[in-house]
Amino acid sequence: MEGSCHFLEGNIRAKQRVIEIKQLLDDIGIGGERLEMYNLSSSEGTKWRDFTTEMTERIKKLGPNPLNLIEEASA
Amino acid sequence: MIVGTTKSIKELIGITDRYKKILAVGCGTCITVCYAGGEKEVAVAMAALRIARKLKGGELATRESTIKRQCEWEFVEELDSMVGEVDAILSFGCAAGIQSLADRYEKTPVLPGVNTQFIGMVQKQGRWEERCIGCGDCITHLTGGLCAVTRCPKGQLNESCGGETEDGKCEVNDSLECVWFTIAKRLQETGELEDAGTYVESKNWEASHSGGLRMIEKESMLQ
């Protein structure tokens, strides 16, 4: 849960860092939507399933990392 | 300390666009402490630049080195053997660092990776505040050790403008304490409140940057 972290403010700081890295990924052309942060506890299996399903569907829609496509093409 | 902020990746992409081999130089002192241009920030920025270049179909070769201080020759010299191999140097130091690299390596373009902001201090983790504008004529002995020249947005020299809130917040920016409110409180605590009435005449700004480029020579230390 946000704010409820073993490291006190750890997940709030992490949230801000994820926002910054998403912006960085947008700026360099990889796309910030490839990164997401979810909050859940170790007992929330259903949530875990929902989040991973959501992320898997998103990544499938986005396709492979464009950097990998360039590296494969030049290999 | 000197406080700075890393330039945005978009700006760095534009600045470095025409170069193929870049030496990125971090600074291990002030700019490391404000998370703008230390070893870690240089590594992140350069990885981002390499990826961005690759996505545009180009190649960018980078070398990274974070020296102790970019503003002192004895540390800058450590870069001598690396500079010959690159098209440009991207400095993640403050403006003093950037310029010392430009002075030393005349044949290599030197680019700024950091925007130098101010002389300040770490107020708390993640927050830096300006404390000095380098006016060259310190009068904080009259103001409880606090600099009204820097910390009052109106630069009030002798007293508050009268616009502070009842709890001592600045009317220009309510995230700031009115420095004159704080000065009065401090002088009261130290029993020197009468100093708050010391009239400070108009400052002589010749000692500041308004007088042009400044230089200091200490005779006893000159060789």
Q: Is residue B197 scored above 70 in pLDDT? A: no
Tell me the whole-structure pTM to 2 decimals. Answer: 0.90
| Number of continuous H segments (helices) and E segments (strands) in chain A | 3, 0
The whole-chain average pLDDT of chain B stands at 94
- For residue range A22-65, what is the model confidence (pLDDT) as tens digits? 999 999 999 999 999 999 988 999 999 999 999 999 999 999 99
Residues in chain A closer than 8 A to B54 (CB atoms): 67, 70-71
Percent of chain B with pLDDT over 90: 86
Average of per-residue pLDDT across A63-72 = 90
Structure token digits, residue A33 = 């939507």
Q: Which residues of A touch B13 (CB under 8 A)?
A: 27-28
Percentage, residues of chain B above pLDDT 70? 99
Look at B223 and B209; give whichever has higher pLDDT.
B209
- Beta strands B114-124 and B127-132, pairing class: antiparallel
CB contact under 8 A, A30 and B55: yes
Label residue B155 left, alpha or beta by phi (over 0 means left) and psi (-120 to 50 means alpha): left
Residue B194: which pLDDT band, with cuts at 50, 70 and 90?
A: confident
* B13:A27 CB<8 A: yes
**Looking at chain A from residue 12 to 41, which residues have their Cβ under 8 Å from any Cβ of chain B?**
24, 27-30
B104 has a pLDDT exceeding 90: yes
- The set of residues, in sequence order, having a beta carbon less than 8 Å from that of B143 and lying 6+ positions away, is B183, B187, B195, B196
Mean pLDDT of B66-83: 97
| Per-residue confidence (pLDDT) for residue B216, from 0 to 100 | 94
Reply yes or no on whether the pLDDT at B3 is more than 70.
yes
* Mutation target vs B (from A12, A25, A28, A30; most B CBs, 10 A cutoff): A28
Confidence of residue B192 (pLDDT cuts 50, 70, 90): confident
Q: Quote the ipTM score.
A: 0.84
